[in-house]
Amino acid sequence: MKLVFAIVNNDDSHSVQDAVTEAGFQATKLASTGGFLKSGNTTFMLAVDDSRVDEIIEVIRKHSRKRKQMMPSNPSYGSSYASFPVEISIGGATIIVTDIDRFEKV
């Protein structure tokens, strides 16, 4: 078995959750915050049979879209330069897969 962590943008959370459930997986949903943008994310934890890991990754991929967002740049402290908008890419999913040594559902 594998433990799949999927970190998705809050905007995609409901779509991912519905798709994961529809595909027959069970997930634990956690609220999380990104370190770079300090924006809201949702982290899903799923215990998945080895043979279904690629399937769950594809389900998450289909429902986690990347998007562009404009953000003000932060000038350095003491700098006389004005901030200006910078386009960044947000969304998508960060997926981590690890081995499970023991799994019990009691």
Nearest-5° Cα angle at 87, 5 to 72: 100
- 104, part of any domain: no
- 87, part of any domain: yes
- 72, part of any domain: yes
Concatenated DSSP letters of the chain: -EEEEEEEEGGGHHHHHHHHHHTT---EEEEEE-TTT--EEEEEEEEE-GGGHHHHHHHHHHT--EEEEEEE--PPTT--PPP-EEEEEEESEEEEEEE-S-----
The CATH number given to whatever domain includes residue 86 is 3.30.70.120
Task: Choose between 35 and 106: higher pLDDT.
Answer: 106
- 27, part of any domain: yes
Mean model confidence pLDDT for the chain: 85
- 29, part of any domain: yes
| Predicted local distance difference test score (pLDDT) of residue 105 | 85
Instruction: Give the number of domains in the chain.
Output: 1
- 105, part of any domain: no
Among residues of the chain, what percentage have pLDDT more than 70? 76
Mean pLDDT of 12-38: 88
The tokens for 11 are 């905007």
- 44, part of any domain: yes
Q: At how many degrees (to 10) do helices 53-62 and 13-22 cross?
A: 140
| Predicted local distance difference test score (pLDDT) of residue 100 | 96
Q: Domain of residue 75: give its range.
A: 2-99
- 106, part of any domain: no
Separation CA 47–CA 35 (nearest Å): 25
| Predicted local distance difference test score (pLDDT) of residue 23 | 97
For 51-73, how does the pLDDT look when each residue is reduced to its tens digit (9 = 90+)?
A: 999 999 999 999 998 777 666 67
